[in-house]
Amino acid sequence: MTCPVCRARFRGSAECSRCGADLTMVMTLAASAWKLRQAARRALESGEYRRARELAVRAQEYCATPQGRDLEGLAGWLAAHAGTPVAALTVQ
């Protein structure tokens, strides 16, 4: 992840090492997103795909990442196809 002001790489401190922007809010949001994605993964493991997707969507709102988008896509796909027999998933 990067500084929202200057795009410098985020180094885990509360202040951007390049422009000095206050990154406390960014860190808080990133931590919230991380917790939501952990919960989403647990929901996936227990087969609660719709809940997993909701959590993944909220995580993306807090802090969007490519991996988070994949998680959201996977949960969304599973939510849409859960219960469908594998034989019915024929790709045309």
- Rounded Cα distance between 29 and 10, Å, is 13
DSSP annotation of 86 reads: G
Q: Is 55 among the residues that bind Zn ion (CB under 5 A)? A: no
The smaller minimum CB distance to Zn ion, of residues 15 and 70, is found at 15
Among 14, 19, 31, 64, binds Zn ion (CB under 5 A): 19
Q: What angle do CA 62, 10, 31 make, to 5 degrees?
A: 35
Q: What is the largest CA-CA distance in the chain?
A: 56
Min dist. Cβ of residue 13 to Zn ion (A): 11
- Rounded Cα distance between 82 and 43, Å, is 13
Among 16, 33, 43, 75, binds Zn ion (CB under 5 A): 16
The smaller minimum CB distance to Zn ion, of residues 26 and 43, is found at 26
Binding site for Zn ion (CB under 5 A): 3, 5-6, 8, 16, 18-19, 21
